[in-house]
Amino acid sequence: MASLSLQQIGKTYGAQTAVEALDLDIADREFTVLVGPSGCGKSTTLRMIAGLENISSGRLFIDGKDVTQAPPQERDIAMVFQSYALYPHMTAYMNMAFGLMKTTRLDKREIDVRVREAASILHIEDLLLRKPNELSGGQRQRVAIGRALVRKPKVFLFDEPLSNLDAKLRNHMRAELKRLHAELGLTVVYVTHDQVEAMTLGTRIAVMAAGRLQQFDTPMTVYRRPANTFVASFIGAPEMNLLRCRHSRAAEGVVIDGASFTITLDGFTPPPAGIEILLGIRPEELFLAPENTLPDGQLMARATVGRVELLGADALAEVNLGHHRLVARVSAEQLPHPGQQVALGIDTRRARLFDPVSGYAHP
């Protein structure tokens, strides 16, 4: 397998910039997820790595070797597409074997060994003689992955491979991909617009917006310490609450003055006192209590419950705090009811502060 290094990679289509100055260093055996909204440049990035698209600027290295100008066949990369792109007239077996027959000098025996090995890993041994129209969506996806596996490439690229599958199958295939990655020690770059997929699959995730990298870190860090308001809103559902507040410096930390509350946060390097700031709080970092029953130091303010949406194990409650409207994740066991007065607490250790103009997080 291999490491991958993108250095200031850019792609322009005429006057339009699809990807701008992208830096990514991907270690051997890493499972990197590129995530972001539609049109942010994920597929373009993947296609540049594969060599299916010219790189307009910057350099690309595979295992330390500059392959910026190298044709696809010299990069030793396999790509799995959302559409599967199987040959309809060929059996599953031939779909997997065909590329090897065409582009390598492997003999028939070796090709057969590889196809059967991949089929066994993917649990499709019984389907090898079927054609794509005799296979379900999930089975076709396995054949497409098998076709990539038999090549034993240095890097696997996946472009939204699970988007065409129903929710249950998607969860199942997600677990399968995770297993494959762990068992075979693959280097994977995986594109999705689905933040749940990104969180569950990635060893690190690269969040992109409008052709630019927003943050590249472990799922937990991206979730807990989003680099800016875009990441804060894009990763996590429902999104992070962002409250516009003023702040002042205290002896220890920052004092946040909202419309109807004051809290003190430790551990921040605040900008000059008095300017506006965005206080970021995830829905599960808010606590509702009937009256003044929150532990010491956690009482923030009295608030009024708005709409309540039951999800199953938990529920989402809208909470009105002055003119702010927040969303809290609460246990379904203790459902508040609309209109109820509650004490609202916040886990201040997890709060984040953002500059409302630049969107950047304060350290």
Name which position in 2, 42, 255, 299 contacts ligand ADP (CB under 6 A).
Answer: 42
Name which position in 9, 18, 288, 319 contacts ligand ADP (CB under 6 A).
Answer: 18
Which of Mg ion, ligand ADP, none does residue 39 bind to, with CB < 5 to 8 Å depending on kind? ligand ADP
Q: Is 100 exposed, middle or buried (0-12, 13-18, 19+ CB in 10 A)?
A: buried
What distance in Å separates the CA atoms of residue 168 and residue 172, rounded to the nearest whole number?
6
- Chain-centre distance of CA 249, in angstroms? 35
Contact yes or no for 225/361 (Cβ under 8 A):
yes
Name which position in 22, 24, 26, 40 contacts ligand ADP (CB under 6 A).
Answer: 40
Give, for 61, the enclosing helix (H) or strand (E): strand 57-62
Contact yes or no for 201/177 (Cβ under 8 A):
yes
- Give Cβ neighbours of residue 142 (< 8 Å, ≥ 6 apart): 122, 123, 124
13 is a contact residue toward ligand ADP (CB under 6 A): yes
Chain position whose Cβ is nearest to Mg ion = 43
Neighbours of 236 (CB within 10 A): 19
Which of the ranges 13-21, 133-141, 321-329, 354-362 carries the binding residues for ligand ADP, by CB under 6 A? 13-21
Query: x/- contact string, 2-41, with Mg ion (CB under 5 A)?
Result: ----------------------------------------
43 is a contact residue toward ligand ADP (CB under 6 A): yes
Give, for 204, the enclosing helix (H) or strand (E): strand 204-209
Of 83 and 136, nearer to ligand ADP (C-beta) is 83
43 is a contact residue toward Mg ion (CB under 5 A): yes
Which of the ranges 31-39, 100-108, 336-344, 355-363 carries the binding residues for ligand ADP, by CB under 6 A? 31-39
- Specify whether the backbone of 140 is left (phi greater than 0), alpha (psi in -120 to 50) or beta: alpha
User: Alpha-carbon Rg of the chain, whole angstroms?
Assistant: 25
44 is a contact residue toward ligand ADP (CB under 6 A): yes
Which of the ranges 41-49, 163-171, 313-321, 328-336 carries the binding residues for ligand ADP, by CB under 6 A? 41-49
Which of the ranges 36-44, 177-185, 216-224, 298-306 carries the binding residues for ligand ADP, by CB under 6 A? 36-44
Residues that bind ligand ADP (CB under 6 A): 13, 16, 18, 36, 38-44
Residues that bind Mg ion (CB under 5 A): 43
